[in-house]
Structure 1
Amino acid sequence: MAIRSAGLLIYRRISRDIEVLLVHPGGPFWARKDEAAWSIPKGLIESGEDELAAAIRETAEELGAVVDGRFTPLGEYRQPGGKIVVAWSIEADPVLDVNVIQTSKFQMEWPPRSGQVKRFPEVDRAGWFSPADAAIKLLKGQRPILAGLLKHLE
């Protein structure tokens, strides 16, 4: 059975345009990557957990802010590695400040085989992007989620 994650594609309206919120993964593997490295806030669904509840929980863990409102299902998206991402969209408060995110941390041995365990933020930054910029920043497997949002908003 494929691993399942759940996430939210948060968007806001700026005049007649929209912007989407993306997060950049923390840790040493992603430190120097930008294009095709960003993601929607998402994470693994725990055993028996409601998928939308998992998306809301994971978003709160990655941003340090609870997002609430009317969630619109965007569907399930198979990633190149086989993982399934279940996504919803939600229109956010336009003043949601991506400069003050408070994210969870994870531990890993770094550098590899050094015996040193270091802590890293799950997300090292977040940003609002136009759909055109988001299509460049997003991981390849998540680009169809953005397309699903744009289709829904037409």
Structure 2
Amino acid sequence: MLLYRLRPGAPEVLVGHMGGPFWAKKDDGAWSIPKGEYVDGEDPLTVARREFEEELGSPVPAAELVPLGEVRQSGGKRLTVWAGEGDLDAATCRSNTFELEWPPRSGRVQEFPEIDRAAWLPVDQARAKLVTGQVAFLDRLLERLSG
């Protein structure tokens, strides 16, 4: 779910920095659109709403959602995204967590947030921060907003 808000000059998008030790010291290419996987039989839009709430701790604050289509990421996963205009205080976002053995082969399992922080970024800045496979959704959003 790509939440955006219109600001003078350029729209801003809400993105999340991926949590966990692999991403901790990375910035460019380490941010993501709130998303999740769905299985056959699940409604992709329902899953997108659920994942947004799990990853940011708040329901999608957009009245209308428009489809931005699907992109196949480098690892083969297909990502379907919707966009909606809305606002949310990025500082209050709280993500669900996952468990990971860390350090590797230590036998010690730690809990990490899926998204460790969220931020509103102008589209041009978000282009550098997002993982490469998600950048196409920014272009699709801009196309929708321009006409």
Q: Give the TM-score band, short-chain normalised.
A: over 0.9
Return 5+ residue gaps in structure 1 as ranges: 1-7
Pairwise CA distance, 1:127: 0.3
Residue 96 (structure 2) aligns with: 104
Residue 124 (structure 2) aligns with: 132
Residue 12 (structure 1) aligns with: 5
CA deviations on 1:17-57 (whole Å, 9 max, x unpaired) are 31001101110000011001111000111442100000000
CA deviations on 1:132-151 (whole Å, 9 max, x unpaired) are 10110011110101110001
> Structure 1 residue aligned with 2:19, among 23, 26, 33?
26
Partner amino acid, structure 2, of 1:77: V
Distance in structure 2 (CA, Å) of the matches to 1:33 and 1:84 = 24
Distance in structure 2 (CA, Å) of the matches to 1:108 and 1:17 = 38
Equivalent residues of 2:10, 2:123 under 8 A apart? no
> Structure 1 residue aligned with 2:110, among 94, 99, 118?
118
> Structure 1 residue aligned with 2:69, among 67, 70, 75?
75
1:84 aligns with 2:78: yes
Pairwise CA distance, 1:121: 0.6
TM-score, normalization by structure 1: 0.91
Distance in structure 1 (CA, Å) of the matches to 2:98 and 2:40 = 20
- What percent identity do the matched residue pairs reach? 50
CA RMSD of aligned residues (A): 1.0
Which one is further off, 38-47 or 80-89? 38-47
CA deviations on 1:61-103 (whole Å, 9 max, x unpaired) are 000000141110000001011110001000013xx10101121
How many correspondences in the alignment? 145
Residue 145 (structure 2) aligns with: 153
Pairwise CA distance, 1:126: 0.4
Distance in structure 2 (CA, Å) of the matches to 1:107 and 1:48 = 27
Residue 33 (structure 2) aligns with: 40
Residue 65 (structure 1) aligns with: 58
Partner amino acid, structure 2, of 1:75: G
CA deviations on 1:94-113 (whole Å, 9 max, x unpaired) are xx101011210110100000
